[in-house]
Amino acid sequence: MITINENHLEDAVAVSKQISEFNNPYEIDEYLKRLQGNHLILTACFDGQPVGFKIGYEQNDEGTFYSWMGGVLPEYRKQGIAEMLADYQENWARENGYTTIRLNTREKHKAMQAFSLKRGFVITEKIAKIPEQESRIWMEKLL
């Protein structure tokens, strides 16, 4: 059984360190620095064990929520966990008065791009980097 929990930062950070796509996962200090204002920390648990996470925070005073970090352990992918986390985050953001949700991914993360486009996000900006696979892609969705 999959459950979604709020405010379990240590569990979220532990999951992030097990996701191979994150070359240099952030330490808890970086999370604490970014999560000073209004934020949401989600962890997905399978039979009580953390297997996914999604973290976001208020980006500006214009009603934008920034979906900053998230992922699901490889062995738990394709089971709807990422969708559950995204649905929860988007509903929470809407209920808390946000009108837009934004995210930033990289060219090399094709699965994340496809997932976001399928959920109604649109690409708003591309920032070229060298190597090209590190180029940033900004996406947003009206809530």
Q: How far apart are the first and last CA of the chain?
A: 28
CB atoms within 10 A of CB 130: 7
Residue 95 covered by a domain? yes
Environment class of residue 132 by beta-carbon count within 10 Å: exposed (0-12), middle (13-18) or buried (19+)? exposed
Residue 45 covered by a domain? yes
38-84 pLDDT, tens digit each: 999 999 999 999 999 999 999 887 899 999 999 999 999 999 999 99
Residue 133 covered by a domain? no
82-97 pLDDT, tens digit each: 999 999 999 999 999 9
Q: Which domain CATH number covers 93?
A: 3.40.630.30
Residue 113 covered by a domain? no
Residue 71 covered by a domain? yes
Across the beta sheet with 2-6, the strand order is: 2-6, 39-46, 49-58, 64-72, 100-106, 136-142, 122-127
Residue 6 covered by a domain? yes
Residue 120 covered by a domain? no
Q: Report the chain's mean pLDDT, rounded to a whole number.
A: 96
Q: Which domain range does residue 52 map to?
A: 2-103
Residue 61 covered by a domain? yes
115-139 pLDDT, tens digit each: 999 999 999 999 999 999 999 999 9
Is the pTM higher than 0.85? The answer reads: yes
